[in-house]
Amino acid sequence: MAVTLAELAERFQCRVRGRPETVITGVAALETAGPREITYVSDKRHLGLLPGSAAGAVILTAADAAHYSGTALISDNPRLCFARVAALLHPGAPAAPGVHPSAVVAAGAVIDPSAAIGPLAVIGAGARIGAGCVVGAGCVVGAGVGIGARSRLVSRVVVNDDCVIGADCVVHPGAVIGSDGFGYARDGERWVKVPQLGRVVIGDAVEIGANTTIDRGALGDTVIGDGVKLDNQIQIAHNVRIGEHTAMAGCVGVAGSAVIGRRCTVGGQAGILGHLEIADDVHVTAASLVADSITEPGEYSSTLKAEPAEAWRRKVVRLSQLDDLARRLKRLEKEISELSKENKT
């Protein structure tokens, strides 16, 4: 695909500085972009690379454009503009509508004629696959599952019976939606399984990373709000509710019945314990553990940072001595108070 900068500016409501007739055929990184490619800078630290760039054009804020003499597309939000330009120029290979002959589709599944069901996919009885959906190779879609228009299960995704996925979602390989929650009752030393009877209900425009797992509700549903973005290898337990537009980085774990607000961000490897509530606009730093409800927006952390091991181990030893330090401090306070009194008398 080839477009001029002028066309891009009109389509995405931004402004050309320099040569609007420049033809752009693709996007590339700042360091590698050639004369028919467009790139962007949104981080001040990369401004220094601009003079060396051979890019046909660079998407920049008006302020940053002052650091660059070449052709630029001026945008208030260069990264957003870049995302849209990239999606336009690199739409991905379209999937051919229809059901691959090797797929196994149960009687009673309703597949929109514009949907594409890939090789060796399995579609259960009563599943409803919306217009323009792609169910990639090796996916297993259970009985009664509903998938909204234009959603894409990339490949080898499992969606268990009766779960619901909205429109415009993307689910990456290895993700499992609707596995049983971890619910048991004790019977002496044994664990007796509590049947997991709820569903997973996923909104629109949700993206779910590779090998992420989302358990179905025990009773009632696990609910993922519109626009939520989950990275790879995240575990969402039963009956969790995640508010709209919340994003979680890789390897996060969320325990059962946690209720998470809207527009939150959760750093990689963070954990959220169960049966608690997190307000809207809460940001949890990487590898932190949220153990109590959070009622105020803001940043929360229990992150520790690696340092040279010897120094770290000394700190840990010091931590063990805190009881002792506190005791000695208390004794000193007493002694000084007595000395003080003696001095005054």
* H/E run at residue 330: helix 322-344
Neighbours of 217 (CB within 10 A): 24
Closer CB to a copy of itself, residue 20 or residue 49?
49
* Backbone phi, psi, residue 319, to 5°: -60, -35
Q: How far is the CB of 98 from a copy of itself (least distance, A)?
A: 15
Q: Which two tokens stand for residue 308?
A: 């040279």
Closer CB to a copy of itself, residue 60 or residue 251?
251
Closer CB to a copy of itself, residue 44 or residue 315?
315
Contact 271, 256 (CB under 8 A): no
Q: For 36-54, give one letter per residue: b (16+ CB within 10 A) or e.
A: ebbbbbbeeebeeebeebe
Q: Which two tokens stand for residue 17?
A: 């500085």
Q: Which residues are catalytic?
A: 238
Q: Tokens 């931004």 appear where? A: 14
Closer CB to a copy of itself, residue 44 or residue 314?
314
Instruction: Write the CA distances from 35 to 31, 132, 294, integer angstroms.
Output: 12, 35, 50
Q: How far is the CB of 17 from a copy of itself (least distance, A)?
A: 21
Closer CB to a copy of itself, residue 69 or residue 295?
295
Q: Tokens 């990456």 appear where? A: 172
Closer CB to a copy of itself, residue 69 or residue 330?
330
> Whole-angstrom Cα distance, residue 311 to residue 12?
52
Q: Which two tokens stand for residue 224?
A: 């993922």
> Whole-angstrom Cα distance, residue 158 to residue 139?
6
Q: How far is the CB of 1 from a copy of itself (least distance, A)?
A: 13
> Whole-angstrom Cα distance, residue 103 to residue 113?
15
Q: Tokens 């959760």 appear where? A: 266
Q: How far is the CB of 316 from a copy of itself (least distance, A)?
A: 7
Q: Which of 229, 91, 203 is nearest to 146 (CA)?
A: 203
> Whole-angstrom Cα distance, residue 241 to residue 263?
13
Q: Which amino acid is at 262?
A: R
Q: How far is the CB of 155 from a copy of itself (least distance, A)?
A: 5
* H/E run at residue 185: strand 184-187
Q: How far is the CB of 313 from a copy of itself (least distance, A)?
A: 7
